[in-house]
Amino acid sequence: MDFEAELAKFQPSLDIEQAEDAIYGNSTTDVTDLLHSILGEASKADHVNTVEWVEES
């Protein structure tokens, strides 16, 4: 068997190419994105619920 000739004839399956497009083209949310979102919401909530004390003279 001539491996060089077989490799020259190789063409990836369309299913694999379509899967690669779907995987690389998908902008999924990862754990870091979720943490940023949660911390951002918690930070906003802290600012909204903050009570500032003013002393009267």
**Domain ranges, residue 22:** 11-48
For residue 55, tell me if it sits in a domain.
no
> Is residue 53 scored above 80 in pLDDT?
no
Which pLDDT score is estimated for 50?
59
Task: Taking residues 26-51, report their average pLDDT.
Answer: 76
For residue 1, tell me if it sits in a domain.
no
Banded model confidence at residue 34, pLDDT cuts 50, 70, 90: confident
Task: Taking residues 19-48, report their average pLDDT.
Answer: 79
DSSP 22-39: HHHH-----HHHHHHHHH
Total domains in the chain come to 1
> Is residue 26 scored above 80 in pLDDT?
no
For residue 2, tell me if it sits in a domain.
no
5 token code pair? 């000739």
Banded model confidence at residue 43, pLDDT cuts 50, 70, 90: confident
Which pLDDT score is estimated for 22?
78
49 token code pair? 């619920």
